[in-house]
Structure 1
Amino acid sequence: MEDGQRTQGSRRYVPPGRSFGPQQLDFPPVRNGIDYLASVVEHLDEAVSDVSARDLKYAVLHLQAAAEVLLKARLLREHWSLVFKDPGRASRESYEKADFESCGTSAALERLRDIAGIRFDGKEIQALSALAADRNALQHYGLTHNAAAVEARAGRVLDFLMRFLDKELLPLLSGSEREVATRDMAPVVEGVKNISSYVQRRSNRLRGELKGMEKSTIQCPECEQMTLVVAPGGGLCHFCGESWPSGYELANDYWLNNSATWGRPCPQCDDRTLTEGVIFADRAEADDALYCFTCTARYTSRELIPCAGCSRSWPIEAVVEGVDAPLCPDCYEQTEPEDVA
Structure 2
Amino acid sequence: MSSGNKKTRAKAKRPDPMRDLVANAVDFLTLATEEFKERPKHSIIAFHSAVELFLKARLLEEHWSLVVSKTPDLASFESGDFVSVTFEEACQRLAKIVGSPPTDRVRQTLDVIRKHRNKMVHFFQDIDDPVVREQIAMEELNAWHALVGLIGGQWRDVFERFDLDIEALDGRFAEHRLYLQTRFTSLAEKLSSLKGEGKVLAACGRCGFEAAETAVVLHELHCAKCHVCHFVPHWLALECTHCSAEFRADGDETSTCEVCDTVFDASDIAEIVDDDPVTTDNYYDRVTPANCTRCDGHQTVVSFHDHYLCTGCLELTDHISACGWCGEGSNGDMEGSEWKGCNYCDGRKGWDRD
Q: TM-score, normalised by structure 2?
A: 0.45
Q: Specify which structure has the bigger relative contact order, considering alpha-carbon pairs within 8 angstroms and separated by 6 or more residues.
A: 1
More strand by share: 2
Q: TM-score, normalised by structure 1?
A: 0.46
Greater Cα radius of gyration, structure 1 or 2: 1
